[in-house]
Each structure stands twice: as structure tokens, then as C-alpha cells.
Amino acid sequence: MKRICMIAFLIIATSLRAGWEPPESTCTTNNLNAIYFLDANQGWVAGDIGTICNSTDGGRIWKPQHEGPYPYDLNDLFFITEMVGWAVGSSGRILHTVDGGAVWTENTIAVYDLHAVHFVDSAFGVIVGGSGLFLLTTDGGENWSDTLISYASLYDVHFYNRQIGWCTGLNVLCRTVDGGATWNCFPPGYPLYALSFPDSLYGWACGAAGVVCHTTDAGENWDCAQRIAFTLFGIGFCDRVNGWAVGDNATILHTEDGGELWELETLGSYALNDVFFIDCDDGWACGDGGTILIRTTGLQEIPVIKSTSGFQAFPNPFADEAFFSLPQPGSLTIFDSSGRMVREFPVERRSMLIWDGTNSWGRSLPAGLYFYTYRRPDLTISGKLVRLHSTD
């Protein structure tokens, strides 16, 4: 394999793009570490304290499926069909569902933390974890064989078919062409946390210090370059030229030319831990504090009433106080620009609600873009609200 080659940054800095928006409702404030969608509607997230949530409408509304026990965290999940799925996490824990996540069975299959899971088909699946652990099943998870690929922890794995696969880890990047029986590895110089292969030849990996590695020959050779100063935790390419990477400071990098030029978006202060695209229009990201973001381009339209029945939000922009005229009982939820819920108000009767720009703990929030959702059984009203610098 080719040794790593560091080259200069090629980044364009831009302001917040309208292409990423928070969901109408979230399911948790726990950190979310992985997101996976089976199609444009059905998806799952997994995170700390055993959190698993499901969406059936393209990520707009999320419902909890599993949580606990403390302190076990989930690091990755994968669904083979809308019914059959797997999740892996700390201390060798593996969860399995055969009913779409309504019930999850738990088992411990290793002493090391498990970081990533991937299935090629209903029978052939792989898991990687701490201390170079590689687990393989050829019978749908009934039995798992284990191998130590290296002494370094492994963070992500992807198999194109039952023979060809790749994995990344703590200063290690590996390829197998015989189903995991043997591996060819080299040290890229940085920890690499995520992989994306849209086909059998073109692939990308990302990791610490904003490094992105790229191959055009199925991993035989890699070119690596630092793209940003922040650590990147997730990467997803929908084809050979269009891709996204996410990481610290809610960073989103986007390329439309195979990684020669990257566009930088910074949406907030929380880390984004994973990104997933099923095609070049439908994508999602997740991160700390229960953050979930939806890339809106190409999503199926879901009717959302913007203004009706006496509802008003004013002034917009606002500095110190925003007023909401709420015609009937329901709930009003405020999200920041990263999709994290910052304030929720129960509405027990018709009222004029005043939001003073603080979060649930009474701390004043910074100037910027916010989203609100007013919900009642027969109506959803959503919109954007801009806060200016306070006059206090």
C-alpha cells in the first residue's frame, strides 16, 4: 500500500446552508453515535446508555425503541431488512431484533468494546472492536468466529461482498480479499474512525486532525490529506464524486468532485458522530445531545402547516423576547441550528407564550438560527426564528 501523503487544505468556508434541518421531534438527549436508513423513510439511530430510536417518515419524527442499562453504550447499528437488525457497543454487547426493533435481545460475545457492524446478506456479517478484534458470522449470527487483525483498536468495517472488505482503526487501515482470513494493513499516521465505499474500487476514510484518505483501486493504494483542523467521525459517499464528512464542532464537509475540493459548514458546538446517505438526495447525520439532522433535498414532502388558526410567532428576528400566540392546547418545542432541543413548553390552554431566549436550564442562548414546532393532535406548525444579539 502507498504510504500516506499529506497535502495542503482545499476548503471553501461557507455560512449555514438551508440543506440541513432538525426533525420535528427527537427521542433522546443522549449522545447518538450511529445512524442507518434502509430507504428514504425507515431509519434508526443508536447511542449512549443503550439508546435506539426509529423513524418511519424520513427522520422527521423519532420514537424510542430501547434504552439501558447504564453505563453500556451503543456504537453502531445495521439493518438487513426492515425487520432484522443488529447493534453493537461497549463491553462486547450485541443486540439483535427480528421485528423492526420492537424487541431487542441482548448478548455478550466478547470482552472488548465493539465499534462497528456490517452485513453483506442475511447470513454473512462482520464486527470490529477493541484490540484489533474481528468477528465473523456466516450463519446469521448464530455463531461468531474471532480473530485479532492487529494490536490496535478497530473503529469501522465495510465489506463489498463476502470476499472483499476493509477496516479502519487506531493508526491502521486494512484490506482483505479472502473474506477476512488474511488482512493487508498499513499505518496511515492517524486514527481513522469511519469508512465509505460506494462501489468496489472507490473508497474514503476519515479521522483525527481532519484527515481524509482516498483510494481508487479497492484499497491497494491510499492518498491521505488533512482537510480541516477538527476530528472527523463519520463519512458517507453516495457515488464516486459526492460525499459528506462530519465531526467536532458540528462540522460538515461536502464535496462534489470526489474530494479534490471540500465545502465547509459549521452548524454548532456539539460533535456530529455519523452521517448516512442512501442516495445523493437523501441523507442524515447524528451527534451529541441527541442531535439529528436531515438533508432536505429530495425528501418526500410531508405536509406541514406553516401558519393557521391564529398562530403567530413574532417579532422575527428578535433580540430579547419572542412571542408565540398559541390558539389551542399542545406543545411548543425550540431547537437550535444543530437540531438539538433547547426548550420545550407544554401548552395547556390558549395563551400568549413568551420565550426569553434561554434553554431548559435558564441559560441565555447565543444569537443565531432556531427552529420551532407547535404540535397538537390535528395540526403541526413549524418555522424558523432568528435571534439577534441581546440588548441587555
State pLDDT tens for residues 142-163. 999 999 998 899 999 999 999 9
State pLDDT tens for residues 328-371. 888 999 988 767 789 999 888 877 889 999 998 889 998 888 88
Residues in CB range of 328: below 8 A, 6 or more apart:
309, 347, 350, 376
The cell for 300 is 418526500
- 333/342 Cα distance (integer angstroms): 8
Instruction: Determine what percent of the chain falls in helix, strand and coil, rounding each to the nearest 5.
Output: 5, 50, 45
> Is the Cβ–Cβ distance between 161 and 106 less than 8 Å?
no
- 40/193 Cα distance (integer angstroms): 25
- The count of residues in the chain is 392
Q: Tell me, what's the pLDDT at 219?
A: 95
Q: Tell me, what's the pLDDT at 392?
A: 59
pTM of the model: 0.75
Q: Edge-to-edge strand order for the sheet containing 63-66?
A: 32-37, 43-47, 51-55, 63-66
Q: Tell me, what's the pLDDT at 178?
A: 97
Q: Tell me, what's the pLDDT at 387?
A: 83
- Domains along the sequence of the chain with CATH: 11-295 (2.130.10.10), 312-387 (2.60.40.3080)
- 273/148 Cα distance (integer angstroms): 26
Three-state SS sequence of 93-128? EEEEECCCCCCCEEEECCCCCEEEEEECCCCCEEEE
Q: Tell me, what's the pLDDT at 266?
A: 61
Q: Tell me, what's the pLDDT at 20?
A: 83
Instruction: List per-residue pLDDT tens for the chain, 392 residues long.
Output: 433 333 333 433 333 344 788 898 889 999 999 999 999 999 999 999 999 999 999 999 999 999 988 889 999 999 999 999 999 999 999 999 999 999 999 999 998 999 999 999 999 999 999 999 999 999 999 999 999 998 899 999 999 999 999 999 999 999 999 999 999 999 999 999 999 999 999 999 999 999 999 999 999 999 999 888 789 999 999 999 999 999 998 888 999 999 988 887 665 678 999 999 999 989 999 999 999 999 876 433 333 334 445 788 888 788 888 888 888 888 999 988 767 789 999 888 877 889 999 998 889 998 888 888 888 888 878 788 888 766 65
Q: Tell me, what's the pLDDT at 268?
A: 64
